[in-house]
Amino acid sequence: MPALKFVRSVWESFRANSGLEARLLDGLRVTAAQPGKVNFELDIQKEHTNRLNILHGGAIASMVDLGGSLAVASRGLFATGVSTDLNVTYISSGGKIGDKIMAEATCDKFGKTLAFTSIKFTNSKGDLFARGSHTKYVALAWKDPNNIVEELNPKTTKE
């Protein structure tokens, strides 16, 4: 199974089983994936904004969380572990209602116990407006029968 199809199946599982992602990030689209990297985009809606009518920092933090999980999924883990650390740096406004934002999430280190991810957010002009990092405890996730880790091993994958 290619990485993109697998990551999209993990995203659909989040949408079906989580209270937060299904409500806040339902319009998020996974646009590309390869082992260790995922791209997604979101059109900013009212529910993503703060009282200044710009992209809310909490929405960005939620996307760092989700993006880190999808980056882990791109390495073949269906159960993407639990968060141990999450950091967001806000560089500028992400935009307003109707603007499209893009993100690239990378699985920087993938081990038996921890996975370290990073994510960059850009606006439609390509300007970086936020970046984040997300560490996941994945030791128990290795046991999920839906995993396809060997299939998405970057050393053997030609995506």
Q: What is the pLDDT of residue 157?
A: 52
**pTM, full prediction:** 0.94
Residue 149 lies in a domain: no
- State residue 127's pLDDT score: 97
Q: What is the pLDDT of residue 156?
A: 60
Q: 35-59: per-residue pLDDT in tens? A: 999 999 999 999 999 999 999 999 9
Residue 151 counted as domain residue:
no
- Residue 51 in any domain: the answer is yes
Long-range CB contacts for residues 143-148, cutoff 8 Å, separation at least 24 = 143/79, 144/77, 144/78, 144/79, 146/78, 146/79, 147/76, 147/77, 147/78, 147/79, 148/1, 148/6, 148/76, 148/78
- How many distinct structural domains can be found in the chain? 1
Please report whether residue 20 resides in a domain.
yes
Instruction: Kindly report the CATH number assigned to the domain that includes residue 137.
Output: 3.10.129.10
Q: Tell me whether residue 154 is in a domain.
A: no
Residues of the chain with pLDDT under 50: 159
Domain extent, residue 28, equals 3-143
